[in-house]
Amino acid sequence: MAVRALCEFTSRGGDLDLRFTPSPTAQEGIAGHALVAGRRGAGYEREIALAGEYAALAVRGRADGYDAARNRLEEIKTFRGDLALMPDNHRRLHWAQVKVYGALLCRARELAEVRLALVYLDVVSQRETLIEETFDAATLEAFFVEQCRHFLAWAEQELAHRQRRDEALEALRFPHAGFRPAQRELAESVYKAAGTGRCLMLQAPTGIGKTLGTLFPTLKAMPRQRLDRLFFLAAKTPGRRLALDALATLAPAEDDAARGDAAPTPLRILELTARDKACEHPDKACHGDSCPLASGFYDRLAEARAAAVRHGRLERAALREIALAHGVCPYYLGQELARWCDVVVGDYNYYFDLHAMLYALTVENQWRVALLVDEAHNLVERGRGMYTAELDQGALRALKRSAPAALKKPLERVERQWRALNGEAGDAAGDDDYQVLDGPPQRLLGALQGLTAAIGDYHSEHPFALDSDLQRFYLDTLHLARLAELFDDHSLFDATLRDGRRGARLSRLCCRNVVPAGFLAPRFAAAHSAVLFSATLGPADYYRNLLGLPDATPWLESASPFSAEQLDVHRVRTISTRYADRPASLMPIAALMAEQYRRHPGNYLAFFSSYAYLDQVAERFAAEFPSIPLWRQSRRMDEAERQAFLERFAADGRGIGFAVLGGAFGEGIDLAGERLVGAFVATLGLPQVNPVTEQFRRRLETQFGRGYDYAYLFPGLQKVVQAAGRVIRSPEDRGSVHLIDDRFGEPRVARLLPAWWNLAGDGR
């Protein structure tokens, strides 16, 4: 148990208080610790590793610093603003940490007493505030023992749970009579990856049972490899739902097991839900003075936590029910339970983004974790998004009109630097409104840093006066500044200029990630094993290079459970869907779709490169063939509208659904059997040619020598194969796919299509 985790368990109390606070950035915290240590002299010891045991509990951690000459052990905390406004429960937690470290230090060095100090460093003024007190070793030992005893009942419960869990997983059996074709080989490769502690990339077609085929062997490996946690990470809600359903089949809870032949499995499973979906009071702020579920949160947490782990299966509805029964926030109860559950199912961002909770817990607690990354082809774009930040000058100008007087001058300094940057970018860009900068604009970033400091100081003096727009701008600025500190050739800084009111030139500044590998690689390195799987995870080097996987990461392709006879693939090489040729393509595409529909009536999906192209073909189709039903995907569909779109695909239905390639209906939906009998893909899916994508192409060409393939071809064909994969979902399915564009006939394109498709016999 880490010292910090022990104290958070035993010494927190009072309200959950998430009012906006101007906390230092991680970089400021590191710099602050270094500054304090640098002031202490040559004999000062930094980062002292300490450990001790009590009964079955081993406690470890690193104390910030020890001055042997003064016999003073220090816990350094950075802050900005007014220290007097720090909540008492924060200070109590800080004292608990330094007292535990003091007890461990006295044990290790046989000290009779030690002076303990909380060192609070203001990152703006760089002034220190010391709060110190001398404790004898016996007092500190008693405090340490008290904390351990307070935790020990829970620790013993956790040890017993771990033993029961591992025994059950050792005895775990595959829940079906047999594996699907190729599913056994997939499961064996996943088990070997867990056994050897390595990364693995698996390309396996839809329908093979990837979710069950990866979860089962990883669960089996947990006891033998002493794995603490399994994180199943998905890009979208359907992937998480499939994982939860598979876990219910593999390891049923007591209530479910009573209804079948399977024995109950003592496995704690947690579904992490986004804050905006889990919030019970979206009209209230996250603090005890506003939200009843934040008031006294930590005072009621222990009972809620105990009830939750007894329940074991903590999907969204069950977690909500337990939280409300104990009067605590469901979202933050889930965050707490991530520390105590065996399997966590959640979005990519919980492990891979800049402030990822699961990654932080893994590192802090030195967990041995296994990662299962579902539909891993999505991680390239999602990873780029996690490490991209932008700031709009229009938002700054809007703030200037409404900001309090204390912020006028720092806002004006930022505006001056931004105007100067626009002039430089405009001169360099010429007639183009897009310009890549040589690097982070340091003068503007310096002005922005001054602004964030001023906002922090203002908030310290007026804690309830910060409006949402100013808070949002502050957080966006901090994110941009953090990524600027990490800037390297994996990213680019650019400015997009536009005309504002009264002829003024405004810009949007962006730190844009191109290659997320540098950010993601430490996340993979922290895991014992990681399996990335998808129906479209090739070429292997593309994903190794962009995701930061080790060079030796094996890439395996599972044999398809489907035969070429199940899917009629037609490459329509007489039509071009290039932008200039689209007006001429409308009627031929409409006629082709109508011909196929009349030959084999049923439900079809038709995919296009944009909403504009979709609408043009749909309107021509409706005019020429009004008897054939059609329905369209529209921009910004909400969840109910997306569900209504899918409900049109009834088993006895007829018609064509028009959708955008790469959108909500291009992957992750399951329309088995007669619900979908065919698909038309009227595009190669290539990203739009624009200045940003061209910059990606150039950067990727420089780094990997395949700029066009990495920026355009591979991402485009991945979307095509995913869309076509909606048609055949089981060994009983039959259907057709029409790939509409002359470029589908090119050998370099054909090589990227699934090997089990009978392209030689498409005949068109």
Predicted structure pTM score: 0.90
How far are the Cα atoms of 413, 604, 611, 662 from residue 633, in angstroms, in the given order? 46, 13, 8, 12
Closest CA to 43 of 64, 65, 61: 65
Residue 251 CA, chain-centre distance (Å), reads: 26
Burial of 180 (0-12, 13-18, 19+ CB in 10 A): middle
Q: How many domains is the chain built from?
A: 5
**E-strand stretches of 194-328:** 199-203, 229-234, 269-271, 313-314
* One domain for residues 438 and 475: yes
User: Are residues 369 and 312 part of one domain?
Assistant: no
Residue 320, pLDDT > 60, answer yes
265 located within any domain = no
Whether residue 328 sits in one domain with residue 471: no
Beta strands in 237-340 (DSSP E): 269-271, 313-314
* CATH number of the domain within which 493 lies: 1.10.275.40
Q: Which two tokens stand for residue 141?
A: 């030992």
Q: What is the pLDDT of residue 377?
A: 96
Kindly state whether residues 737 and 627 are assigned to the same domain: yes
Q: Is residue 175 part of a domain?
A: no
What is the predicted pLDDT for the residue at 466? 58
- Percent of the chain residues past pLDDT 90, beyond the cut: 74
Q: Establish if 491 belongs to a structural domain.
A: yes
Query: Does position 720 have pLDDT exceeding 90, yes or no?
Result: yes
Among residues 457, 481, 515, the one where a domain terminates is: 515
Number of neighbours of residue 308 by Cβ within 10 angstroms = 25
Question: Of 458, 489, 515, which closes a domain?
Answer: 515
**pLDDT band, very low/low/confident/very high, at 551 (cuts 50, 70, 90):** very high
Please check whether residues 399 and 509 belong to one and the same domain.
yes
Query: Residue 625's pLDDT is what?
Result: 97
- Kindly tell me if the per-residue pLDDT of 262 is higher than 60: no
- Is residue 511 located within the same domain as residue 578? no
In a domain, residue 266? The reply is no
**pLDDT reported for residue 222:** 97
The CA angle 738-593-615, to the nearest 5 degrees, is 105
C-alpha R_g of the chain: 29
Instruction: Give me the helix-helix angle, 297-311 and 330-337, nearest 10°.
Output: 60
Q: Write down the pLDDT at residue 460.
A: 66
Question: Same domain, yes or no, for 96 and 211?
Answer: no
Mean pLDDT score of the chain, rounded to an integer? 91
Amino acid residing at 724: A
764 — pLDDT class (breaks 50, 70, 90): low
Supply the pLDDT for residue 19: 63
Supply the pLDDT for residue 265: 79
pLDDT of residue 677: 96
pLDDT at 310 over 50: yes
* Residue 713 identity: L
Q: Look at the alpha carbons of 14, 19, 22, 28 in this order and tell me if their dihedral is positive or negative.
A: positive
Rounded to an integer, what distance in angstroms lies between the CA atom of residue 603 and that of residue 676?
5
Tell me the range of 182-186, 341-345, 469-473 where mean pLDDT is highest.
341-345
To the nearest 10°, the Cα dihedral for 467, 471, 473, 475?
A: -170
Task: Write out pLDDT tens, residues 404-443.
Answer: 898 999 999 999 999 999 988 766 655 578 999 999 999 9
- Ranges 73-87, 134-148, 183-197: which has the least confidence: 73-87
Q: Is 174 inside any structural domain?
A: no
Span of 30-39, 620-629, 711-720 with lowest mean pLDDT: 30-39
Which residue type sits at 702?
T
Q: Is residue 173 part of a domain?
A: no
Mean predicted confidence (pLDDT) in 574-588: 96
162-179 mean pLDDT = 94
- pLDDT band (50, 70, 90) for residue 288: confident
171 in a structural domain: no
Strand partners, 115: 72, 134
DSSP secondary structure string, 450-483? HHHHHHHHHHHH-TT---HHHHHHHHHHHHHHHH
Report d(CA 712, CA 241) in Å as an integer: 31
Percent of the chain's residues with pLDDT above 70: 95
Domain region containing 656 = 564-761
- Residues 526, 488 share a domain: no
486-526 tens-digit pLDDT = 999 999 999 999 887 766 789 999 999 999 999 999 999 99
| Same domain for 572 and 617 | yes
Confidence (pLDDT) at 259: 47
Given a cut of 90, is residue 755 above it in pLDDT? no
Same domain, 280 and 404: no
Whether pLDDT at 150 is above 50: yes
Rounded average pLDDT over 605-612: 97
Give dist(CA 230, CA 344) in Å, integer.
6
CA distance 270 to 38: 44
Instruction: Give which of 517, 508, 540 is closest to 386, Cα–Cα.
Output: 517
Q: What is the pLDDT of residues 434-481, one digit of tens each?
A: 999 999 999 999 999 899 888 877 876 776 655 778 888 988 999 999
**Which of 24-28, 181-185, 582-586, 599-603 is predicted with the least confidence, judged by mean pLDDT?**
24-28
pLDDT of residue 529: 98
User: Do residue 614 and residue 731 come from a single domain?
Assistant: yes
Tokens representing 763 are 């005949």
Strands 343-347 and 229-234: parallel
CATH number, domain containing residue 726? 3.40.50.300
Cα–Cα distances in angstroms (integers) from residue 616 to residues 121, 301, 574, 582, 583, in the given order: 62, 56, 19, 9, 8
Any domain includes 324:
yes
Helix (H, G, I), strand (E, B) or coil at 273: coil
485 and 606 fall within a common domain:
no
